[in-house]
Amino acid sequence: MNSSLPPKEFFPRHIGIIMDGNGRWATQKGLPRSEGHKAGAKVFKKITEYAVDLGIESLTYYAFSTENWRRPPEEVTALMALFREYLEEAEDRKLENEKKGMRIRFIGETDTLPEDIAHRMETTEQESAGKNAAIVNIAISYGGRQEILHSVREIARQVASGALSPEEITQEHIESHLYTEGQPELDLIIRPSGEKRLSNFMVWQSAYAEFWYSDVLWPDFTEQDFNRAIWDFAKRNRRFGGV
């Protein structure tokens, strides 16, 4: 065990990461925003491998929100190119990921993505479906409110078919139709870059999550920053409404 970390029983089981600050990082360096996203993609890979090696069970990354479609077309195009590159690398690293037991999932309105990207995502998911050491969720074209809407619509179909009555609907029914169904509760949300808001990320799942903020921009985020977030989480007294 890494001596710079608390005992593993104090680790969060499921961590959400809002990868924020790529554009500002690039602007500060006089570079195109796309260069910031490239640098952020490298950090995503580094932190994922580190977290999986530590034994974190689930990671959910906010990669591209439903609102991000409003960004300048050239920036969206650059991000789509990065997703393609990641998927190609995932194919190349398939054996390595299999050894780590890493299951990769893509969550969000993936039918809004370019057809070739959606197809590669489906293939990547299928090839890693049997792995269970760690789940890596990549939220693309994702919005927390839209995720809840998706769940409610699925429940409404059950009610309309007569399989379920409104009085029978529980929180568990809603959770069973969320993209993270069957995964550990979200314990910790990490948001670098100095922003302190949820930004429509995992709205339902974050009800009792702890938050950890940092002024570090995502491309400068390191394993030591990740360690600090885990230490901060381990020190908190989580009462879940009790005493």
Q: Residue 219 and residue 193: Cα distance in Å, rounded?
A: 10
Catalytic residues: 20, 68
Architecture of domain 10-233: 3-Layer(aba) Sandwich (3.40)
pLDDT of 3 strictly over 60: no
Give the residue ranges of DSSP H helices in 55-202.
73-92, 94-100, 115-128, 144-161, 171-175
pLDDT tens digits, one per residue of 150-161: 999 999 999 999
pLDDT tens digits, one per residue of 210-236: 999 999 999 999 999 999 999 999 999
Distances (CA, A) of 217 to 19, 35, 54, 106, 232: 9, 14, 23, 24, 19
Q: Residue 239 and residue 91: Cα distance in Å, rounded?
A: 42
Per-residue tokens: 23: 């554009």
Give the residue among 147, 93, 152 at the shortest CA–CA distance from 124: 93
Q: Residue 53 and residue 39: Cα distance in Å, rounded?
A: 22
Parallel, antiparallel or unpaired: strands 188-191 and 102-107: unpaired
Residue partners of 130: CB distance under 8 A and separation at least 6: 103
Mean pLDDT of 60-89: 94
pLDDT of 181 strictly over 80: yes
Per-domain boundaries in the chain: 10-233
pLDDT of 199 strictly over 80: yes
pLDDT tens digits, one per residue of 184-193: 999 999 999 9
Q: Residue 54 and residue 48: Cα distance in Å, rounded?
A: 10
| Sequence letter at residue 179 | Y
pTM of the model: 0.93
Q: Residue 131 and residue 94: Cα distance in Å, rounded?
A: 12
